[in-house]
């Protein structure tokens, strides 16, 4: 979603969000992050990021991966909902590229399966056996 639209929907206006974002910038500086919120153009779906973070936890590089994701998003405005960007982060920290891609693909397929089920219900199917020929 477009970042400006997201902020306006969530806070009513960019001005209403300013105090919170100013505080975020100050807190980030304590962690040696230099947030550049103006570089963020999109508010991504972060589910794929959480898949990467879970794999990073298993590989004992969670802290490094989370820092990298935060830096990419808040300092550089990189879309952390884009799986290609997440694969780069994972590989950089020693996570097997094939395993990460498999996990991300599995999530996409699960998400599509749920969407298909919703579409079937919208089309009047209510749980009976359906065979499309």
Would residue 112 count as lying in a domain? no
Rg (CA), the chain: 19
Would residue 48 count as lying in a domain? yes
Question: Taking the CB of residue 26, how many other CB atoms lie within 10 A of it?
Answer: 10
Quickly count helices (H) and strands (E) in the chain: 6, 0
CA 119 to chain centre: 24
Task: Decide if 107 contacts 48 (C-beta within 8 A).
Answer: yes
Whole-structure pTM value: 0.76
pLDDT along the chain (133 residues), means of 10: 92 94 93 89 92 96 95 94 97 97 86 57 52 40
Would residue 28 count as lying in a domain? yes
Would residue 129 count as lying in a domain? no
The widest CA-to-CA distance across the chain, in whole angstroms, is 60
> So what's the pLDDT on residue 114?
58
Would residue 122 count as lying in a domain? no
Would residue 105 count as lying in a domain? no
> So what's the pLDDT on residue 103?
94
78: tokens are 């990189």
> So what's the pLDDT on residue 119?
53
Residues 42-59: b if buried by 16+ CB within 10 A, e if exposed: bbbeeebbebbbebbeeb
Give the DSSP per-residue string, 59-88. TT-HHHHHHHHHIIIIIT---TT-HHHHHH
Total domains, the chain: 1
Would residue 17 count as lying in a domain? yes
CA 58 to chain centre: 19
The boundaries of the domain holding residue 51 are 3-99
CATH code where residue 49 lies: 3.40.30.10
The helix (run of H) or strand (run of E) holding residue 34 is: none
Would residue 14 count as lying in a domain? yes
């Amino acid at each position: 979603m477009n970042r400006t639209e997201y902020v306006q929907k969530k806070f009513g206006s960019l001005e209403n969000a300013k105090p919170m974002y100013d505080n975020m910038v100050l807190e980030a500086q304590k962690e040696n992050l230099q947030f550049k919120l103006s570089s963020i153009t999109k508010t991504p779906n972060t589910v794929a990021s959480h898949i990467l973070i879970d794999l990073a936890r298993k590989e004992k590089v969670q802290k490094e991966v989370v820092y990298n994701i935060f830096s990419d998003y808040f300092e550089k405005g990189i879309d952390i909902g884009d799986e290609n960007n997440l694969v780069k982060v994972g590989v950089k920290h020693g996570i097997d590229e094939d395993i990460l891609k498999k996990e991300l693909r599995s999530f996409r397929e699960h998400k599509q399966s749920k969407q298909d089920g919703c579409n079937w219900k919208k089309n009047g199917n209510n749980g009976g056996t359906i065979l499309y020929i």
